[in-house]
Amino acid sequence: MTLRRHSQWGSITKHLLLLVGGVVMIYPLLWMISSSFKPQNLIFAQMGLWPTQFTLENYTKGWNAIGVPFGVFFVNSFVISVAAVVGNVASCSLAGYAFARLDFKMKGFWFSMMLVTMMLPFHVTLIPRYILFFKLGWLNTFLPLTVPHFLAVDSFFVFLIVQFIRGLPRDLDEAAAIDGASEFRIFWQVIVPLATPALVTTAIFTFIWSWDNFFSQLLYLSKVPLYTVPLGLRAFVDSTDKSSYGSLFAMSVLSLVPAFVIFVSAQQQLVEGVSRTGLKG
C-alpha cells in the first residue's frame, strides 16, 4: 500500500509539473490572442488575459494597414508553401527511393555527401546562392523560394524517406519485379502507397517551414505586392514609437491558423511517419 501511494503521488507530481510547464509555454500565445482583441492603448497597460474592453478593430485595421490587403500576403505564402511541398515530396521521394532500393556506383559516398549537407550551416551557401539567383534574374520572384525544392536539396527529408523505405520488406519489390513491373512502377504503385506517413510528414514540415521562413523571403523579395505573411507582419513594426502592435497581434493570430489546421488534420500520420523512421527521441 505504501509503495502504491508513493507511486500515485509521484504520478500526480509529474502531471502537475507538466501542467505548469505547459501553461508557461502556452501563456505568450494566449496573451497574444487576448491582446489582439484589446484596444491599442490597453495592450501593455493591462497584462491580464481577459480583455476588459473587447474590440475587433485590430483585425479590420490590420487587414488593410500596409496599403496592400493582407490577403495578398496569404496568397503569396500559400503559393510558395504549396510549391515547396510539391517539389519536396516529389524530388525527395525519388531520391530516397534511389538511395534505399537502387544499386549504383559510389552509392555510399553520395549518401554520405548528402548527410554532410545536413550539417552544413545555411549561411555558408547564402552568398553563392544569392549571386546565382541574381545572375539568373530571379530576384523579386518566387523562383528562388520554390525551384530548389524540386531538386531534392532538403537532405533531412531525403534521409527521413530513406529510413522509412528501408523498413519496408523487399519481398514486395521482388514480387512486383517478377510480375514485370519497372522500377518506376514499383516506386509509384508499391513504395509510394506504403510510404504515405513519411510523405505526409515531409509535406507538413515543408509547409510549416516554408510558411514561417522569414530570412529567405526577406533576402529575395523586396516589393510589397510580393510580400509573404512573415514579411507582412514585419511591416507592422516600426523603428519609431508608431508600431501597430494591435494589428500585428491580430494578423499574427490569423497567420497561425493554416499551419495549425494542417498539423491537427494530419497529426496521426505525422506521428507514425516520425516514429517509423527512427527519428523519435
**Would you state the pLDDT for residue 88?**
94
**How is residue 213 written as a grid cell?**
521562413
Which has more pLDDT, 228 or 10?
228
Nearest to 93 by CA among 215, 201, 220, 213: 201
Instruction: Give Cβ neighbours of residue 28 (< 8 Å, ≥ 6 apart).
Output: none
pLDDT digits (tens, 9 = 90+) for 156-195: 999 989 988 988 888 888 888 888 888 889 889 889 998 8
Q: What pLDDT sits at residue 239?
A: 45
pLDDT of residue 275: 63
* Contact in structure between 36 and 249 (CB atoms under 8 Å): yes
Q: Are 196 and 268 in contact (CB under 8 A)?
A: no
- Homologous superfamily of domain range 70-275: MetI-like (1.10.3720.10)
Read off the pLDDT of residues 228-245 as tens digits, 9 standing for 90 and up. Answer: 999 988 888 764 456 678
How confident is residue 133, by pLDDT bands cut at 50, 70 and 90? very high
Q: Which residue has the higher pLDDT, 79 or 108?
A: 79
Residue boundaries of the structural domains of the chain = 70-275
And the C-alpha cell for 236? 507592422
CA quadruple 117, 120, 122, 123: dihedral, nearest 10: -140
By the 8 A CB rule, do 173 and 190 touch?
yes
Q: Which of 55, 50, 49 is nearest to 37 (CA)?
A: 55
Angle, helix 107-118 to helix 155-166, in steps of 10 degrees:
130
- Predicted confidence at residue 5, as pLDDT, reads 64
What's the pTM value of the predicted model, to 2 decimals?
A: 0.84
Average pLDDT over residues 60-67: 84
pLDDT mean across residues, the chain: 85
